[in-house]
Structure 1
């Protein structure tokens, strides 16, 4: 069907309604969202955000800020909230450079119950075979970041991947002796961490790295400890002046912590260090114009940070079609 050059959009729509087929008399009721996959080209990198699901975090878990200030910051931000808490996304990121595939964090798998554990399925829906993944970089050893190393049958999810975990986090979370001295609320996580990495460690595919150790080409680990003792963020060079910062758990409450970086999450192991890391990562991202990928930012969690006085603001990335030469195809 074609229209004259002088045809307006309104005229075209009226023409389509008048000449098109009759509207269906019954409406379809959707029972599921489309797969949680989003692709973003960043320099030479093909970045795929993978949705794992959502968790609820209570506003009372924010510390270092009074309840009234939290309420004011949440007002008109429209963050979904129910009796369990504020809706908080869990995201992971697949980064493709040429034919090399790097997955940063893996989601929750079976560790957090129904409604989560979608990373592996969404990776397949994005057109990738888990066996193609070369590297898995873990920002830290919490269950929502490493349980996805195993599939639903507790088998290795990424059979050909080398798993990278900071030596500091490995020393703490993989040592059974650490459990007794940990806060009661996180003791369950130690056994989950050991279980998730065990088959990789048994085959020599778990790499514990220190501050001066080399990572895969184009990737730099930035110290961002505080949420955990060995938490790291990864800066990935996209070429052409483009940088991607995958920052893990720098932010849990996006509607509050950009505007008030001193607001801490109750589960931070060292709140003073976590605040310092948050300010440092936000400042570097804002000043460098880096792309940011956040594990607990609203999906797809890709965008930029800008300064607002002494604080910061989140700038979500604009939806954009992929260039024809950058369509994700796996390998």
Structure 2
């Protein structure tokens, strides 16, 4: 190739690039990587499984002074409606695979129901799950169990506090409930039906050890049988707080803010205050279903409230 030919070729290529004829524009992906995050706790491995995110009108749901909710979100550069995370937690103890909460399945709109696919992406199959512990029977925590005679986790035993089961699985309570709450009862009934018929739905009563390293701790208030789960291995501790927290941006700074979904606002507030105080004092790791993914971190007391320190990305070794 002569010098003149090389120059001509370069000029032609430059013209083609300038005109956009050489390469088509890359399309927008409009997708995210699989929603799982893995970490270790002593001898255990914990995998956070995201079920999706959903826009929530938190300025209407949170019981706060006028304007304070909007101000808190603005200070955190968060727009309303609030894009809330929905998460479950898989604990591999070495002898058991324990899943805490299952996400919404099809009970909370089209943006959720991704937990099972993210479980597979994390290297597990639904058939491998041994135990499922439900913090409470609201649809976004129990819907992922499956529907009627189609269990999503066919080999798992499902456990929840008896107080929650007695309330949400009661036809009498459903009949007494407001019209807009009746679906919560039906969702819970349909989700546990297959496990109950197979003898794999086994409520427990109050705080109790469930498997070595994982115990239930009663935190009644958000629902009649709301439960937190405490995971411990080799002196390390993780507390999974369920729905004691719905908004990191608002409720860490002011734990007295409650939410419309609470069955008993006063009791839920007291449980949150006690849980935050203990987590700050002891410094252990904690997680919550609606913390921004990966939904793990620590808190430290700050004035009348708390500051949240989310986990930093790390690769288990």
* Superposition TM-score, scaled by structure 2 size: 0.89
In the TM superposition, residue 227 of structure 1 has moved relative to its aligned partner by: 0.9
The answer to whether the 8 Å contact 1:250/1:277 transfers is yes
SS of 1:179's partner is helix
Deviations 1:253-291 (A, max 9, x none): 211011111100011110000100111111111112111
SS of 1:221's partner is strand
Give the whole-Å Cα distance in 1 for the aligned partners of 2:23 and 2:92: 43
How many pairs were matched up?
296
Are residues 99 and 219 of structure 1, via their aligned partners in 2, closer, same or farther at CA, if it must alter by over 3 Å? closer
2:121 aligned residue (122, 125, 147): 125
In the TM superposition, residue 203 of structure 1 has moved relative to its aligned partner by: 1.3
Residue 226 of structure 1 is matched in structure 2 by: 221
Unaligned ranges ≥5, structure 2: 1-21
2:95 matches 1:96: no
Deviations 1:182-208 (A, max 9, x none): 233321111110111011111111111
2:159 matches 1:164: yes
In the TM superposition, residue 154 of structure 1 has moved relative to its aligned partner by: 6.1
The answer to whether the 8 Å contact 1:91/1:301 transfers is yes
Residue 37 of structure 2 is matched in structure 1 by: 38
Deviations 1:100-137 (A, max 9, x none): 21000000111122111000111011100111111000
Deviations 1:14-49 (A, max 9, x none): xxxxxxxxx977435313111111111122221111
The answer to whether the 8 Å contact 1:61/1:265 transfers is no
1:279 aligned residue (256, 273, 283): 273
Residue 305 of structure 1 is matched in structure 2 by: 299
Deviations 1:64-114 (A, max 9, x none): 421222222222212242xxx211110011111114210000001111221
Give the whole-Å Cα distance in 2 for the aligned partners of 1:250 and 1:79: 21
SS of 1:276's partner is helix
The answer to whether the 8 Å contact 2:73/2:79 transfers is no
Residue 10 of structure 1 is matched in structure 2 by: none
Residue 54 of structure 1 is matched in structure 2 by: 53
Counting only pairs closer than 5 Å after superposition, residues 161-200 of structure 1 correspond to structure 2 as 161-200=156-195
Residue 65 of structure 2 is matched in structure 1 by: 66
CA RMSD of aligned residues (A): 1.8
